[in-house]
Amino acid sequence: MKKYTYTEKKDTRSGFGAGLSELGKTNPNVVALCADLTGSLKMDAFQKDHPERFFQIGIAEANMMGIAAGLTIGGKIPFTGTFANFSTGRVYDQIRQSIAYSDKNVKIAASHAGLTLGEDGATHQILEDIGLMKMLPNMVVINPCDYNQTKAATLAVAKHHGPVYLRFGRPSVPNFTDANQNFEIGKAVVLNEGSDITIIATGHLVWKAIEAAEKLSEKGISVDLINIHTIKPLDNEAILKSVARTKCVVTAEEHQRNGGLGDSVAQLLSQHLPTPQEFVAVNDSFGESGTPDQLMTKYKLDTINIIEAAEKVIKRK
């Protein structure tokens, strides 16, 4: 098992803030909109450096999506910023009609996704956003795993023409990917090559999948470990290549099982390479208040759950 280390834990939202700030300096067409969560989204630096290109919308997310769509008509590249819940479910029709169907070059930056938002509880812990967004034709869906990757993703989506949903979160997680990585939309990152099982993880679950793979390796199980930062378009080739070798798969994500990464992988495999699969995901349930760690444990999104799923699926081969 390849060894992964990190020097510090950082929040992915700060990776977005750093990326946006850099875009502000390098791309004059980049503009930012925020619905009263500038600090939470780490958009402060952009706001301070480029006040003329920063639009404080107030608590009016539907209006924000429409204004972003309109700004693209004048050649701007708008990044909207609010929590993942208010970036998707609350404004689904605005995104569907004014952005996705209208082919508008809007980047929907969504923070505080999933259970790890923590104490605010289920009203704010959206676990359906990947599903909502991936169902929309034209929409690219990205869920990077750490600070460095979120920053790289932010820079990359500005160069991609078309609507993008960029999902990240609140808690500090190990920052282990390369600071100067080349982020390629739609390209899986193979973290370890193995032969007994494929583990495919996204977002905050990637580090937990690394921990799980290390433990499995100690037990003599060789893990092919893939970080899927782009859920749509999915890197079909990388997944099929891996699963053809290992013949079983575990998917791991901080999202509902319905509509998430696991669903996308299952759909791919059922068509091209039917394979036993186990899902580490929230199982048709809302979240609740608690610390991020407590919630990840209670809702079975922890390292141990990935290990158990792996051992179970290997037996199903």
Which of the residues 83 through 102 are near other proteins (CB under 8 A)?
93-94, 96-98, 101-102
Q: Which residues of 74-94 are buried (b: 16+ CB within 10 A; e: fewer)?
A: eebbbbbbbbbbbbbebbbeb
Using the rule CB under 8 A, give the single segment among 15-23, 73-81, 112-120, 286-294 that binds other proteins: 73-81
Structure-block tokens of residue 257: 């099982």
Cα separation, 263 vs 269, in Å, equals 10
Tokens of 181: 């990585």
Among 18, 20, 67, 252, binds other proteins (CB under 8 A): 67
For the question of residue 253 being annotated catalytic, the response is no
β-pairing, 189-192 vs 164-167, is unpaired
Instruction: Give the nearer residue to other proteins in terms of CB position, either 98 or 242.
Output: 98
Nearer to other proteins, 58 or 274 (CB): 58
> What residues numbered 36-65 form the site for other proteins, per CB under 8 A?
52-53, 55, 57-58, 60, 62-65
Q: How many residues bind other proteins (CB under 8 A)?
A: 32
Active-site residue identified among 61, 128, 254, 278: 61
Is there binding between residue 76 and other proteins (CB under 8 A)? yes
Pairwise CA distance, residues 47 & 261, whole Å: 33
Per CB under 8 A, contacts with other proteins among 20-39 are 31
Cβ distance to other proteins smaller for residue 31 or 226: 31
* Amino acid occupying residue 205: L
Exactly one of 4, 9, 40, 70 binds other proteins (CB under 8 A); that residue is 70
Q: How far is the CB of 73 from other proteins (least distance, A)?
A: 5
- Contact between 304 and other proteins by CB under 8 A: the answer reads no
Residues lying near other proteins in the complex (CB under 8 A): 31, 52-53, 55, 57-58, 60, 62-76, 78, 93-94, 96-98, 101-104
Active site residues: 61
